[in-house]
Structure 1
Amino acid sequence: MNEPSHAHKVPSFPVSSKEFSTVVQGIKTDFILSSYDDYIFVLVTQLGKMGTLLQARKEEGYGAEITFTVSVLLGKHDEPMLRACARQLIERTSDMGSSRPLLLSLGLKDHSRGTLKEIVERVCENKVW
């Protein structure tokens, strides 16, 4: 398992954040995780800039009906693996006790299943919510 090459927690005022870099599937990958009152923001880039911006949220219907929705706000609308990554992250953050929606920016060179799985793991290991 790759450990972040450097990680530091930014003071919690006004927003609790964590920044770190690690190697994912052979590519240096930078992470910024921020916990706002109304959203969790996750930026993951292998390009040094923001990428496709997605929103993911948990929606509770009547009874025990829970659904997760993912929307592409900006960027690649035709990349199902990015949507799958957002869905995995909202499900995991929800399982870890957060009810906030997720705003996710993915600027990736590699959209493979292995890369996206590792990204989800790194985000969950370094949670700020």
Structure 2
Amino acid sequence: MAAESIVRSKQAAEAIGGILTEVVCTIFSDHIFVVVTQYGKIGTLISVTPHIVSNEVGKPTFSTKILMGKDEPLTHVYAKHLVTFVCEESGNKSVLLALALKDVNLDNIKSIKQLIQSCRLW
């Protein structure tokens, strides 16, 4: 009988905006690690954490924190847009997002989000 791995991972790659974009999603017991790269490197590391108010009904709020890399306002926006659905669908697990993008625009962000969804493990 083969032992099942504690850590599960799934990856996908697609040309987005003419640039090869790679996504790797790895699920751990309390976090999900998502790598999105167009450079083949990790790039900026962002923590996306859901906050739930116990008395309030509705969706959680999310905070982002740059752990490594350049702290720019748009990086926080991209991170929230790309992985808040991962937090929600996984039962409000925190997400660690590694982001290294060459070309960022709204259409590319939407395509990258779909690529992340194709790696669904949660």
Please state which band the TM-score falls in when normalised by the shorter chain.
0.7 to 0.9
Q: What is the number of equivalent residue pairs in this alignment?
A: 118
Whether the aligned pair in 2 keeps the contact of 1:56 and 1:87 (CA below 8 Å) is yes
- CA RMSD of the aligned region, Å? 1.9
Displacement of 1:89? 3.5
Task: Look up the match of 1:120.
Answer: 113
Aligned mates of 1:24, 1:79 — CA distance in 2: 23
Which range moved further: 68-77 or 95-104?
Answer: 95-104
Displacement of 1:79? 4.6
Distance 1:79 1:114, change over 3 A: farther
**Larger relative contact order, structure 1 or 2 (CA cutoff 8 Å, min sep 6):** 2
Partner AA of 1:120 in structure 2: K
Gapped regions of structure 1 (runs ≥ 5): 1-10
Distance 1:98 1:122, change over 3 A: farther
Q: Scaled by the length of structure 1, what TM-score is found?
A: 0.81
Q: Scaled by the length of structure 2, what TM-score is found?
A: 0.85
Gapped regions of structure 2 (runs ≥ 5): none
Quick one: percent identity of the two aligned structures?
29
Displacement of 1:86? 1.6
Runs ≥4 residues deviating over 3 A: none
